[in-house]
Amino acid sequence: MDYKKTLNLPVTKFPMKASLVKREPEQLAEWEESCLYDKIRTESKGRKTFILHDGPPYANGNIHIGTALNKILKDIIIRSKQMSGFNAVYVPGWDCHGLPIEHNVDKEVGLKKKEISHGEFRRLCRSYAEKYIDIQREEFKRLGVMGEWGNPYLTMNYEYEAIIARECGKFALQGGLFRSKKPIYWCCSCKTALAEAEIEYKDESSPSIFVKFALKDNLGLEIPVLADKKVFVVIWTTTPWTIPANLAVALHPDFVYAAVDTGEGEVFILARDLVEGCMKSFGLSDFSILAEIEAGTLEGKQCFHPLYNRESLIVLGSHVTLEAGTGCVHIAPGHGQEDYEAGLLYGLDVYSPVDDRGCFTDEVEFFNGQFVFKADREIVARLRESGGLIKEETIKHSYPHCWRCKKPVIFRATPQWFIPMDSTGLRKKALEEIDKVNWIPRWGRDRIYGMIENRPDWCVSRQRAWGVPIAILYCDKCGEIYINQEVIDHVYALFKEHGADIWFKKDAKELLPNDAVCGKCGNDTFIKETDILDVWFDSGVSHAAVLEQRPDLKWPADLYLEGSDQHRGWFHSSLLTAVGTRGAAPYKSVLTHGFVVDAKGKKMSKSIGNVIAPKKIINQYGAEILRLWVSASDYKDDIRISDNILKQLSDAYKKIRNTCKFMLSNLYDFDPEKDTVLYKSMPDIDRFALHRLQKLIERTTKAYDQFEFHTIYHALYNYCTLDLSAFYLDILKDRLYTSPPKSAERRSAQTVMHIMIDTVSKVMAPILSFTAEEIWIYMPERKDKETSIHLTSLPVVNEELKDEELAKKWELLLKVRGEVTKALEQARTSKLIGHSLDALVTISANKDLYNDLHPYTEDLKSIFIVSQVSLIKEESLAGAYESNDIEGLSILIEPATGEKCERCWVHDTSVGTSPQHPTICKRCEENIKGLRY
């Protein structure tokens, strides 16, 4: 007869093949249809909130792998907090203003730009942003990220724009906003400011001149040998036109300088290491070094300007190099970034006597009205005439050009708006706040602290079209800002109703109360600022525009989570705007992750061609594998991704899936409400399995708490492979298949598996959200089973299922089992056995070990999955395997006695003894009694 029909073999429709690429979109549609997100919200009303505040991605282009990493990490956290008893509302956002969009719209519009109004251009930018928000929204949803996709926050929403203006107004109101000159890239042909991103570098021929600045101060006191000598500091520049704006000469604080007698009655000061080369190129061969001078000695000394009757100060600056020139750098604070910074340190004027066409203003003697590049030649001539020029040549070098008209650009100082770091105490307070925040990983604190500590005043103005205007009016006579609460409220109301566009449509008068009078000079006409705000200000006030505005959110947020570049970006601007207006950081914790790099640890870039798009992974493996990748990686460091890594994760996924499938397939006839077996009635191994499960819960609970997801991945995966697949479930097969279906021992195993699958699926739910749900659907029905796993809670440790003493015993058994498998493998290699059930195992143990094993004598064969085990005390066994790891243990493997039972495959001497069932063993004969077959 066919005894196979008397077995309880696994049955399930849960597919082995995940078909994630096909199934995930279907699952998403089902969640959408059943309004799962709303259900979660409703069910968790009144719970304590956990708010992860989303850092808004830029609404341009498709998402890349780093964005996917970021959003999936957030989703894992949101889901795990939600399942830990919190109400974790997630409102995603987008950063909508800014140059890249403006730039792209510019390109799309092309030559028509001149025909388009400012308002129309802004409208195009808005719709461009909308388009990419829709694209990215779908991409994020496809990753399985759950949130308020129907109601995200956008920095271009009218209300958001109104709040940006209001927050900026708050800074102004408390004296935290001022206007000052700063050099920026300027195109003289387009008469416009340019951003770094709008600059193209091209080779250009420029004059290269060496100029000597006569020292005004006598160095004779410090360096006697120079007393009564004609001493000059020698500089080198490739922009002669900036000489009229020269205010200083910079030396490097760490360089040694030399005073060189030229042999022609003069002394030149230049960097010691460059003396040889320079003097040679000046054609001065008869020189001698008179003295070596520390840069510090010269700091603060005055020189004469080579053209005008004024001084030029010697300053120190670490931007000075020995790569070219003389080691002494000409400083024009109005015409260079580093010059500007050096100037700030020494309190120099940001002198920039050049108009918007690039022509010298009237205050520039000799060259007024001349276009700067054309003036180069005349300036050189003038220098030669005055004796300041040492040498002139022409060099080719890379020079910045305008992306639009391709002409060379200049650095030119224009009025900009700044948020001061020190005059209002912003820096000090921000530094204090940094130490109240929990930075994960810890070094994030040092990173942002250093940045805040050293940063200059925040320049918040941009001369662009697509953004929120600095909604400030200032006196057209004295420049004083006209600001009060009434103005702020008025602008806020206007923006909220019409968007920021209204600012450009109304003139200054309409934006102010009728009786507005300058508080400083009494004048009643005002200028409307049309510069827009730095977009970092936009996103930086999201705490005000989102956390404070939405009733289901809160201020401060529990967590901000972004890549480590955001210490300079969003964490930074959020901190400054919050501290500046509310006196506190807008976040309690800040978590940062690294960047996605390729298999070799190199960054991804289009030019190297090592970019992996999330879309490709989703279409090949499914979003679930991407989510597993995020969880498996230690995000604190850079995260590698490669086909090999994805393949490995895909294999791991299959293993987890199959393990769950196996448990489900053995629960087909299990009704948890009727068939559950009490813990105390369970066999030891079942109770040990439950103990191990509690350990898994302990570990994963702690890991979720500490955002250590890769620990969860490893714990879960190792649990599935080691605890379950290779141990418990493997041993369980015999019991599950051969025992009577309703027998206590089989029900006990099913009870355990039911708890296991329930636990494991919940533990994986925040990470493998699709698969956990799929498992949930296939789990046995019961009265209060939730409709979705995402409505349930993470498992908590049940202390009653823990038994350390029992565990200790079983850990020893496990160790012995490991030795037995080694012995079995040897026997297999020598063709003594094939399957382990072919074996009879004799265990010889020393006294202690024997006493430990003895209580389990009857269980050993099932634990080892062999047919027979005999346990003996301290006898030497000829040809036995001697354990290396366990003292006093030797194991002898022999072929099992008796025939192989056709039904349970165990070898037993009882096979053949029954007349009715001659091919099966006694145990099986008992087990099929009463069964219908």
Site for RNA in 305-364 (CB under 7 A): 318-319, 337-338
703 in Cβ contact with 709 (< 8 Å): yes
CB of 770 to RNA, least distance (A): 19
By CB under 7 A, what part of segment 682-721 binds RNA? 708, 710-711, 713-714, 717-718, 721
By CB under 7 A, what part of segment 875-904 binds RNA? 902-904
CB of 186 to RNA, least distance (A): 18
By CB under 7 A, what part of segment 836-875 binds RNA? 836
Among 216, 384, 520, 603, contact with RNA (rule: CB under 7 A): 603
Helix (H, G, I), strand (E, B) or coil at 463: coil
Q: In terms of CB distance, is 90 or 439 closer to RNA?
A: 439
- Can residue 80 be called a binding residue for RNA (CB under 7 A)? no
Pairwise CA distance, residues 532 & 161, whole Å: 12
Q: Segment near RNA (CB under 7 A), from 18-26, 501-509, 596-604, 756-764?
A: 596-604
- Please name the residues in contact with 57: beta carbons below 8 A apart, sequence gap of 6 or more: 63, 67, 70, 94, 95, 136
Among 398, 829, 876, 916, contact with RNA (rule: CB under 7 A): 829
Report how many residues bind RNA under the rule CB under 7 A. 79
49 in Cβ contact with 12 (< 8 Å): no
- Can residue 601 be called a binding residue for RNA (CB under 7 A)? yes
CB of 597 to RNA, least distance (A): 5
- Can residue 438 be called a binding residue for RNA (CB under 7 A)? no
Q: Provide the residue type at 861 as one letter.
A: K
Q: In terms of CB distance, is 729 or 768 closer to RNA?
A: 729
CB of 335 to RNA, least distance (A): 15
CB of 837 to RNA, least distance (A): 8
Which has the closest alpha carbon to 626: 133, 73, 148, 82?
A: 73
What are the C-alpha distances in Å from 630 to residues 373, 460, 615, 719? 54, 36, 15, 19
- Can residue 662 be called a binding residue for RNA (CB under 7 A)? yes
* Residues shown for the chain: 933
CB of 733 to RNA, least distance (A): 5
One DSSP character per residue, 865-908 reads T-SEEEEEES---TTPEEPSSSTTEEEEEEEPSSEEPTTT--EE
Among 288, 443, 854, 855, contact with RNA (rule: CB under 7 A): 443
Q: Provide the residue type at 732 as one letter.
A: L
Q: Segment near RNA (CB under 7 A), from 110-118, 147-155, 635-643, 748-756?
A: 635-643
CB of 738 to RNA, least distance (A): 6
Say how many Å lie between the first and final Cα of the chain, rounded: 10
Q: In terms of CB distance, is 379 or 764 closer to RNA?
A: 764
Pairwise CA distance, residues 791 & 513, whole Å: 54
CB of 255 to RNA, least distance (A): 12
- Can residue 301 be called a binding residue for RNA (CB under 7 A)? no
Pairwise CA distance, residues 251 & 294, whole Å: 10
Among 602, 616, 782, 785, contact with RNA (rule: CB under 7 A): 602
Among 905, 912, 913, 914, contact with RNA (rule: CB under 7 A): 905
CB of 344 to RNA, least distance (A): 13
- 895, β-bridge pairs: 839
Among 281, 386, 620, 648, contact with RNA (rule: CB under 7 A): 648
- Can residue 516 be called a binding residue for RNA (CB under 7 A)? no
- Can residue 645 be called a binding residue for RNA (CB under 7 A)? yes
Q: In terms of CB distance, is 18 or 172 closer to RNA?
A: 18
Pairwise CA distance, residues 570 & 157, whole Å: 19
By CB under 7 A, what part of segment 807-826 binds RNA? 818, 821-822, 824-825
CB of 641 to RNA, least distance (A): 8
Computed on alpha carbons and rounded to an integer, the radius of gyration of the chain in Å comes to 39
Evaluate the omega torsion of the peptide bond into residue 556 and state whether it is cis, within 30 degrees of 0.
yes
Pairwise CA distance, residues 530 & 202, whole Å: 32
Among 271, 639, 693, 892, contact with RNA (rule: CB under 7 A): 639
Residue 46 has a CB neighbour count (10 Å cut-off) of: 7
732 in Cβ contact with 756 (< 8 Å): no
Pairwise CA distance, residues 769 & 659, whole Å: 17
What tokens were used for 361? 């203003």
CB of 341 to RNA, least distance (A): 7
By CB under 7 A, what part of segment 444-503 binds RNA? 446-447, 450-451
x-or-dash string of contact with RNA, 107-126, rule CB under 7 A: --------------------
CB of 628 to RNA, least distance (A): 10
- 775 phi and psi, to 5 degrees? -60, -45
CB of 649 to RNA, least distance (A): 8
Pairwise CA distance, residues 410 & 405, whole Å: 13
Residue 435 has a CB neighbour count (10 Å cut-off) of: 10
CB of 360 to RNA, least distance (A): 27
Long-range contacts of 369-372 (CB under 8 A, 24+ apart): 371/188, 372/188, 372/241, 372/410
CB of 819 to RNA, least distance (A): 8
Among 659, 862, 883, 890, contact with RNA (rule: CB under 7 A): 659
- Can residue 643 be called a binding residue for RNA (CB under 7 A)? no
- Can residue 738 be called a binding residue for RNA (CB under 7 A)? yes
CB of 455 to RNA, least distance (A): 8
Among 1, 4, 34, 349, contact with RNA (rule: CB under 7 A): 4
Which has the closest alpha carbon to 144: 295, 26, 5, 298?
A: 26
Pairwise CA distance, residues 540 & 334, whole Å: 29
654 in Cβ contact with 721 (< 8 Å): no
Pairwise CA distance, residues 74 & 635, whole Å: 12
411: enclosing H helix or E strand: strand 410-419
Among 665, 769, 844, 883, contact with RNA (rule: CB under 7 A): 665
Residue 528 has a CB neighbour count (10 Å cut-off) of: 20
Among 16, 289, 521, 931, contact with RNA (rule: CB under 7 A): 16
371 in Cβ contact with 198 (< 8 Å): no
- Can residue 594 be called a binding residue for RNA (CB under 7 A)? yes
What are the C-alpha distances in Å from 850 to residues 857, 876, 892? 10, 14, 15
624 in Cβ contact with 775 (< 8 Å): no
By CB under 7 A, what part of segment 229-248 binds RNA? none
CB of 145 to RNA, least distance (A): 20
Among 23, 506, 655, 695, contact with RNA (rule: CB under 7 A): 655
- Can residue 834 be called a binding residue for RNA (CB under 7 A)? yes
By CB under 7 A, what part of segment 565-584 binds RNA? 565, 567-568
- Can residue 745 be called a binding residue for RNA (CB under 7 A)? no
Residue 898 has a CB neighbour count (10 Å cut-off) of: 17
- Can residue 64 be called a binding residue for RNA (CB under 7 A)? no
- Can residue 724 be called a binding residue for RNA (CB under 7 A)? yes
- 744 phi and psi, to 5 degrees? -60, -40
Pairwise CA distance, residues 335 & 305, whole Å: 17
Among 238, 633, 739, 842, contact with RNA (rule: CB under 7 A): 633
Q: In terms of CB distance, is 27 or 738 closer to RNA?
A: 738
- Can residue 722 be called a binding residue for RNA (CB under 7 A)? yes
CB of 371 to RNA, least distance (A): 28
Q: In terms of CB distance, is 566 or 844 closer to RNA?
A: 566
- 394, β-bridge pairs: 207
Q: Segment near RNA (CB under 7 A), from 126-134, 487-495, 829-837, 842-850?
A: 829-837
